Amino acid sequence: MSLRIAALGLLAQRPGSGYDLLKLFENSMANVWPATQSQLYSELNKLADGGLIEVTDIGPRGRKVYRITTAGRAELHRWMTDPSADPPFRSAALLRLFLLGQIPQEQARRHLEHTAEHAQAEIARLLALRDSLGLTDSPDADDDAFFGLAALDYGLRLNAMQGEWARDVLTKLDDRRK
């Protein structure tokens, strides 16, 4: 259900073709809800069948430009204000961490070191992404830009936290070995 919303949400910001959305999914959206080309195109057809979006134009190479409808905006609003039907949260990384006691301690250490390095790399990637988007913190920025930046800031803080956590666990492991 959430991919449906992700597509709808992007079309709520501005009209575009499946290919346009695909590029957005490869860039910003992939960080919060990745989707494949295959899934996206079939979801757009379903959204159009359901009247939540409509085709406004067919360009060269069969390019279909979609626009959100009133019904689509209503559905998006409904989802935004009701988190009760969200799919359950799953994280393979957290699962691995939960089971870290099951591998030799030296390998667990290496995993934690890798986690810390990965967090650093993610921070660098997100900073580069922020620069490339050309969004500004200025007071005249629109809502989309404001919340886009806020989501990105969330990612930055998450990775900073993760790096600190991994380094602290490593320190505690050292203390234990003595």
Q: Which residues bind DNA (CB under 7 A)?
A: 1-3, 17-20, 22, 34-39, 41-42, 44-45, 59-64, 87-88, 90
129 binds, among DNA, its own copies, none (CB under 5 to 8 A by kind): none
**HSE of 19 in the Cβ direction (CA atoms, 13 Å)?**
8
Contact 146, 133 (CB under 8 A): no
Give the whole-angstrom CA distance, residue 57 versus residue 118.
43
Residue 25 Cβ vs its own copies, minimum distance, rounded to whole Å? 11
Give the Å distances, CA to CA, from 44 to 6, 49, 67: 11, 9, 11
Q: Which residues sit at the interface with its own copies, rule CB under 8 A? A: 2, 5-6, 9, 12-13, 28-34, 76-77, 79-81, 83, 86-103, 105, 107-108, 111, 139, 142-148, 150-151, 153-154, 157-158, 161-162, 164-165, 168-169, 172-173, 175-176
Residue 156 Cβ vs DNA, minimum distance, rounded to whole Å? 24
For the record, the structure tokens of 54 come out as 């409509």
